[in-house]
Structure formats: structure tokens, C-alpha cells
Amino acid sequence: MPNAILECKSVSKHFGGLTALNQVDFHVERGEVVALLGDNGAGKSTLIKCVSGVYKPEHGQVFFEGKEITSQPPSEIRDKGIETIYQDLALAGNLDVGANVFLGKEKKKQLFGFIAVTDDDYMRHEAAQLLARLDIHIPSLKQSLDNLSGGQRQAVAIARAMYWNARLVIMDEPTAALGVPEQRKVLALIRSLRDQGVAIILISHTMSDVMQVSDRIVIMRRGKVAADMMRADATEELIVKHIVGTVEGAA
């Protein structure tokens, strides 16, 4: 796959006696939006956690930009340019917007020339510029994340991905808990990421989101890839058949 930014080769992951991933081959090309679909428990979140370093697969390999990253720690994988926005959102609710954009990479300044403290003003200033560029309005950047809406929190997570120049952004159900205007905003952000050449993996149960923003659709079923098709060749009916496993000839 000469143009693949991400490639998973024969990735398997077990939880005790349960096979969550069974020799999964999966790839994403540069600048491509791939929708990863499947029923509850199909293995979608497990697959992306094997990419982001949260889980170590027992078999198989993961390559990013041609280099193997299998089982590297999440912080190293993030440094390489893969930003993941989890279903169970991994932002810090008690910190403010600026601190969340810099989470894990906090900007320090020297107090009296020798005491290192976090530079909150700098982080808030940078976050404010970025959010303005993304047309995201958050009343006060001093608010802790707990006080923001789901859509605003997703926006902060996406802002964080952009600030650190992620080249692959993985989103696990970004619009599931959002109202309609917020869903639109997140979809617009996905498009603007793509326009900047960022590759995206989008996990979603919302068919209209998938049809609107994806270039390619990969469907998982019981820990395996059941189908892989271009968006242009997909219909909602065909997708649903693959998800529930009623396509003729399907496993």
C-alpha cells in the first residue's frame, strides 16, 4: 500500500476467551475519511485502541507512515501524529479549555527564573486563537470542561488534534451524544480537517453522518472485516446488510 498512512496487518486481540479482533487487515490512505462501522461489540473500539497504543495486539502489526508502531505507548503514538478522540472522552473535566488543548504536553514557564510552573495564560491564548480559527465559540476559556456541552468538548478535542498537527485523527462516535447543531459543527470540522490533508477514521452508528463525510466504508462484524467499499458504491441498505450479516456469501 504505497499511499497508506496507516496499515494494520492481521491484527488479533483477545480478552480472556473472547476474540475481539480476528486477524484484521485495515488501512487508511493519506487525506482519506474512512468510516468504521459495525454492530455493538463488533470490535471497532478495540481496533482503534490497538492503533493508538491503549491495547497491545497479541498478533499482527500496525504501521504509520511506513514505520512499525505496534504496541508503542500511547504518548509516543500521539507524538508521531495520531490523535484519538475516544468514545469515553479522554479529556480532563476539571481543567480549563487551554489546559485540555495542551493535555500531556503542558507549556511550562520559569517562575523567578528557576521554578517550572504551567503557563496557563499562554495556553489559553493559543487555544483562543485556534478556536477562533475553527469558528468555535466557547463563552470562557477559563471554564472547566465539565461546564461545557458535549459538542463544545468534542470541538476542544478536535482543536487539540489540529494544534498538534495530527496527520491521522481517530474519532470514536463523535456525534453520538450531540444535538443537531453541534453534530453539524463536528461534521464541518471533520471536513475542514480533511481539506487540510488530515486522514480520519470515523466510528459512527449515525448513517447520515457516514454518508455525508466518508470516502470509504469499512464494516466490521464479530471481530473481522466484513466489507470494505467506496462511499460512492455504498447504499444504506447494503451497509445495514453487512452490519447484520445478511449479505449473500458473507460469513
Ligand X SMILES: Nc1ncnc2c1ncn2[C@@H]1O[C@H](COP(=O)(O)OP(=O)(O)OP(=O)(O)O)[C@@H](O)[C@H]1O
* Residue closer to Mg ion, measured from CB, 46 or 152: 46
| CB 141, min distance to ligand X, A | 31
Which member of 17, 18, 113, 139 binds ligand X (CB under 6 A)?
18
* Contact region with ligand X (CB under 6 A), list: 40-48, 130-138, 184-192, 230-238: 40-48
Query: Largest Cα–Cα distance of the chain, in whole Å?
Result: 71
For residues 49 to 88, the per-residue mask of contacts with ligand X, x marking binding by CB under 6 A and - elsewhere, is --------------------------------------x-
If phi > 0 it is left, if psi is from -120 to 50 it is alpha, else beta; for residue 80 that is alpha
Compute the distance between CA of residue 79 and CA of residue 28 in angstroms, rounded to an integer: 19
Q: Which three cell numbers stand for residue 186?
A: 463536528
Which member of 5, 11, 24, 45 binds ligand X (CB under 6 A)?
45
Q: Are 74 and 104 spatial neighbours (Cβ–Cβ below 8 Å)? A: no
User: Could you tell me the CA-to-CA distances from 118 to 91, 108, 146 in Å, in that order?
Assistant: 18, 4, 20
Which member of 35, 43, 98, 217 binds ligand X (CB under 6 A)?
43
Which member of 24, 33, 44, 155 binds ligand X (CB under 6 A)?
44
For residues 31 to 60, the per-residue mask of contacts with Mg ion, x marking binding by CB under 5 A and - elsewhere, is --------------x---------------
Which member of 7, 46, 95, 151 binds ligand X (CB under 6 A)?
46
* Contact region with ligand X (CB under 6 A), list: 13-21, 74-82, 147-155, 191-199: 13-21
17 forms part of the interface with ligand X (CB under 6 A): no
Residues that bind Mg ion (CB under 5 A): 45
Residues that bind ligand X (CB under 6 A): 15, 18, 20, 38, 40-46, 87
